[in-house]
Amino acid sequence: MAEDLNWAIGGEAGDGIDSTGKIFAQAQSRAGRHVFTSKDFASRIRGGYTAYKIRSSTERVQSVVDRLDVLVALTQRTIDENLDELHDRSVVVYDGERSWEAEIPGEIDAVDVPLKSLAEEAGGAIMRNVVALGAVCAIVDFPVEKLDEALEKRFGGKGEKIVENNKQAARLGAEYVEENYDGFDYSLETTDNDYVLLNGDEAIGMGAIAAGCRFYAGYPITPATDVMEYLTGRIDRFGGHVVQAEDELSAINMALGAARAGARSMTATSGPGIDLMTETFGLVATSETPLVICDVMRAGPSTGMPTKQEQGDLNMLLYGGHGEIPRFVVAPTTIAECFHKTVEAFNLAEKYQTPVYLVSDLALAVTEQTFAPEEFDMDAVEIDRGNVVDEDSIDEYLDEQGRFQPHYDAADGVSPRAFPGTTAGAHMSTGLEHDELGRRTEDTEERIDQVEKRQRKVETAQNEEDWSPREFGDPDADTLVLSWGSNEGAIVEAMDHLETEENLSVRFLSVPYMFPRPDLSDAIEAAEETVVVECNANGQFADVVEHDVLTRVERVTKFDGVRFDADELADAIRDVAADADEVTA
Amino acid sequence: MSSDVRFTDFKSDKQPTWCPGCGDFGTMNGMMKALANTGNDPDNTFVVAGIGCSGKIGTYMHSYALHGVHGRALPVGSGVKIANPDLEVMVAGGDGDGYSIGAGHFVHAVRRNVDMTYVVMDNRIYGLTKGQASPTSREDFETSTSPEGPKQPPVNPLALAHAAGATFIAQSFSSDAQRHTEIVQQAIEHDGFGFVNVFSPCVTFNDVDTYDYFRDSLVDLAETDHDPTDEQEAKEVIMDGETEHMGVIYQDEESVPFSELHGLDSNMAEIPDGAPEDAMDLVREFY
């Protein structure tokens, strides 16, 4: 495996940490290196510790590790926070001219670069982070010119002069290190590959536009806001619109209205917003309205930890709402899957006229990763609008008095849908229990028919769609790992490590469908030990797996607000595998 | 749209379960007549309602309709109209639905100025839950949940709308069929959010704000020299604590509705069979 570089810049929120990190990530990506970024941030605008971490390699990277090779520290706290990840080859870049005295353990290379002075020399102190990037280029032997394109992208809007000044700042940083320090033992390879670099929220927004979503209503909330920000301005180019609603209640109701008008429609929020939307979620389902509701999970309950990772909403998404609500719950497992599963969510919603929860999490949302552009093949996007009737086909669904039956008791549970404007299609929809015409009823037989009809859609979908998990590793291994959401990448890397370093192979099924779920009973029966990995305290997915297969499973859970890294998962999986060995013996 | 549409075409074959004598009958009839008079038909009309006696209206009218959850009819109507500007959208609510649980949505729907008509059936009481105080109940109105009266001033919906920047504010009375129809019609024809507060008496639970009370006290602005385009005059009518008025109180003739302001004129239901032609541009942005 090619050597990977783990780099970070840390300082106070407001120090420009994010944009500096993004410039370096884009430069690495443009130089044909795979990139995986992660952010450590607090729920505040200015001050407090924040960091942007980049792992890059010529081979695919899909998780974080607990090692830091190069650290740009704008504050002492940055060093303190990351001390346990620094090793004897690590290099720390700091500015000795600043007021704090950097305390850096002796065995670590400390590179003192006068960031501010050099930035002023290039045209302004504000460019000190870019000086640091130049310094890093010299340390890791990465051509400083390869920052240029990313600098143009970042500062192009501010004029030629600013771009040139920044390029100069980077060069001064690189020259300073070359003149004042001996060579370091890093040498970053580059390739001719062209990658795109994006995060999960952006992939969801892009998937929505590709899938024909034209109406989005939402309310800003971390970490779902990037979906709305991505769509704003872009969706208009395709004839759509984004409305920033007054609250989540309004957002889902607007999206519902647009969906009833026939538009592919979506809203996105995070846990607290899902709570608020739950009342209308029942209405969406009962009125059989196709709608995609995206939950980008963060640590809860209540306001919890808004900027931290957790997968704690599963029970809410599976069971939330009064009464019994047929629904689909689709959970992408990678950033690229955020795109593909969003397209799928729209098709499921319209084919079955049922709300779809599209479940992402903070780790997917704020992490950026490189992909070959072909991973987002727009020609492969298929749109299935389901059973939509027009003037010519509506007769089949009119009753003997010529009234349209939007809740027609079809054998497969899927009724016809008439967009407003369709002649003879006028009808009523309601959250009250209703008959085939959509009119309120308390008739026991009609109640039973409609409940069964709605349930039947799920059965039809179970039979007609492919709910398979994504499979990795050795299908015959004694140890089976199950997981959902963003843990996939870290688990796959942990498996690579166990395979190459310890000759230990496991089977891993990454499950993107929480409801309906794939039947995992054969896989669990075939394994000696099954472990479910997820970021919550109770093991919510483990609970539903146990319920489905009536077999106890092991749990690896984490709920400190931080995503899994590959190294800790390798340890956890090794422990379970050791138990499997005991069982076999 | 056909020219031979009659208002009875907007009637469903379901018999209303409103109490005999309820003001909502007249309110609904006026809405149906106004829709027909403005050249609409059931297939291009979308009616949204919330919860309560007013919420039943979608069942008794014939059109595309949604009967939603309590207080949230306005966001639904906004979504319908933005997604398809060709539809005529009418939202119906009650004083509880619109000024209590839905008050936040009301303010923001007004601000957004989506081109639809909002008719509030204001009977100053909660009827369907059998007679509790509503946001427009008088301060001393005795009910099961306010034995000595709510002891708080009623909401002034007209003032609320005006403060939020309404471009059309009107008030009508359900039993004056002709004036009520005319007023709703003007709201439909208004380019933007047309708000009509309708006095729609509850004969079962409200023995104060009765037909007789409104008949005796209402001043019809059409019979005065009121100029609805004069904002100052409108303000005086809105803030007049002594007299109840009927008619178009305020209309901003410069009103630009939401969809026009945002350049939205297409029906968002119409999408291609696959990703849009230039969708790969979306990917290339991430280089």
Give the start-end residues of each E strand in chain B: 45-49, 64-67, 88-94, 117-122, 168-173, 194-199, 219-220, 245-251
This prediction has a pTM of: 0.96
Interface of A with B in 133-152 (CB under 8 A): none
Asked if A32 is an interface residue toward chain B (Cβ–Cβ < 8 A), one would say: no
Q: Does the beta-carbon distance from A246 to B271 stay under 8 Å?
A: no
Can you tell me the mean pLDDT for A538-560? 96
Interface of A with B in 436-455 (CB under 8 A): 439-440
Q: Does the beta-carbon distance from B76 to A256 stay under 8 Å?
A: yes
- Chain B residues touching A373 at Cβ < 8 A: 280, 283-284, 287
CB atoms within 10 A of CB A116: 16
With H, G, I as helix, E, B as strand and everything else as coil, classify residue A176. helix
Q: Can you give the pLDDT at residue B21?
A: 96
| CA atoms of B81 and B75, how far apart (whole Å) | 10
Helix (H) / strand (E) containing A57:
strand A47-57
Backbone angles phi, psi at A565, to 5 degrees: -110, 160
- Chain A residues touching B43 at Cβ < 8 A: 420-426
Which of B271, B282, B286 has the CB atom closest to A197's CB atom? B286
**pLDDT band for position B1 (50/70/90)?**
very low
**pLDDT band for position B79 (50/70/90)?**
very high
| CA atoms of B118 and B112, how far apart (whole Å) | 13
State yes or no: ipTM above 0.85.
yes
| CA atoms of A298 and A127, how far apart (whole Å) | 33
Q: Does the beta-carbon distance from B64 to A420 stay under 8 Å?
A: yes
Q: Pairing relation of β-strands B168-173 and B117-122?
A: unpaired
Helix (H) / strand (E) containing A50:
strand A47-57
Q: Give the chain B residue whose CA is nearest to the CA of A401.
A: B13
Q: Can you give the pLDDT at residue A42?
A: 74
Q: Can you give the pLDDT at residue B3?
A: 60
Q: Does the beta-carbon distance from B79 to A239 stay under 8 Å?
A: no
Tokens 């280029």, residue located? A137
Q: Give the chain A residue whose CA is nearest to the CA of B269.
A: A263
Amino acid identity for residue A43 in this structure? S
The three state secondary structure string of A431-476 is: CCCECCCCCECCCHHHHHHHHHHHHHHHHHHHHHCCCCCEEEECCC
pLDDT of B2 higher than 60: no
Q: Which residues pair with A404 in a beta bridge?
A: A398
Q: Does the beta-carbon distance from A421 to B87 stay under 8 Å?
A: yes
Residues contacting residue A498 through CB under 8 Å, at least 6 positions apart: A504, A505, A506, A570, A573, A574, A577
Q: What is the pLDDT of residues B153-181, one digit of tens each?
A: 999 999 999 999 999 999 999 999 999 99
Q: Can you give the pLDDT at residue A79?
A: 92
pLDDT of A28 higher than 60: yes
Alpha-carbon Rg of chain A, whole angstroms?
Answer: 26
Asked if B267 is an interface residue toward chain A (Cβ–Cβ < 8 A), one would say: yes
- How far is A458 from chain B, CA to nearest CA, in Å? 24
Tokens 């995986």, residue located? A36
Q: What is the pLDDT of residues A31-68, one digit of tens each?
A: 999 999 998 887 777 778 999 999 999 999 998 888 99
Tokens 């990454």, residue located? A510
The closest of A477, A538, A540, A470 to A510, measured between CA atoms, is A470
- How far is A273 from chain B, CA to nearest CA, in Å? 16
Asked if A30 is an interface residue toward chain B (Cβ–Cβ < 8 A), one would say: yes
Which of B64, B69, B86 has the CB atom closest to A431's CB atom? B69
Q: Which two tokens stand for residue B131?
A: 């007679």
Q: What is the pLDDT of residues A424-458, one digit of tens each?
A: 999 999 999 999 999 999 999 999 999 999 999 99
Query: What's the order of all strands across the beta sheet hosting A355-361?
Result: A241-244, A213-218, A264-269, A291-297, A355-361, A328-330, A513-515
Three-point CA angle A88, A90, A93, nearest 5°: 140
- Chain A residues touching B128 at Cβ < 8 A: none
pLDDT of A106 higher than 90: no
| CA atoms of A533 and A488, how far apart (whole Å) | 9
Q: What is the pLDDT of residues A331-351, one digit of tens each?
A: 999 999 999 999 999 999 999
Interface of A with B in 156-195 (CB under 8 A): 194-195
Residues contacting residue A237 through CB under 8 Å, at least 6 positions apart: none
Q: What is the pLDDT of residues B43-72, one digit of tens each?
A: 999 999 999 999 999 999 999 999 999 999
- Helical ranges in A13-92 per DSSP H: 17-30, 76-82
Q: Can you give the pLDDT at residue A271?
A: 98
| CA atoms of A234 and A251, how far apart (whole Å) | 19
Asked if B262 is an interface residue toward chain A (Cβ–Cβ < 8 A), one would say: yes
Amino acid identity for residue A160 in this structure? E
CB atoms within 10 A of CB B59: 22
Q: What is the pLDDT of residues B205-253, one digit of tens each?
A: 999 999 999 999 999 999 999 999 999 999 999 999 999 999 999 999 9
Asked if B261 is an interface residue toward chain A (Cβ–Cβ < 8 A), one would say: no
Q: What is the pLDDT of residues B264-276, one digit of tens each?
A: 999 999 999 999 9
The closest of A78, A54, A71 to A135, measured between CA atoms, is A71
Asked if B1 is an interface residue toward chain A (Cβ–Cβ < 8 A), one would say: no
Asked if B268 is an interface residue toward chain A (Cβ–Cβ < 8 A), one would say: yes
| CA atoms of A109 and A115, how far apart (whole Å) | 17
Q: Give the chain B residue whose CA is nearest to the CA of A235.
A: B282
Give the start-end residues of each E strand in A210-258: 213-218, 241-244
Q: Does the beta-carbon distance from B268 to A240 stay under 8 Å?
A: yes
In angstroms, how far is the first alpha carbon of chain B from the final one? 49
DSSP secondary structure of A95-146: -TTSSS-----TTSEEEE--HHHHHHHHT-GGGHHHHHHHHHHHHHT--GGG
Q: Can you give the pLDDT at residue A1?
A: 42
Q: Which two tokens stand for residue A380?
A: 């492969």
Q: Does the beta-carbon distance from B105 to A249 stay under 8 Å?
A: yes
Q: Does the beta-carbon distance from B104 to A255 stay under 8 Å?
A: no
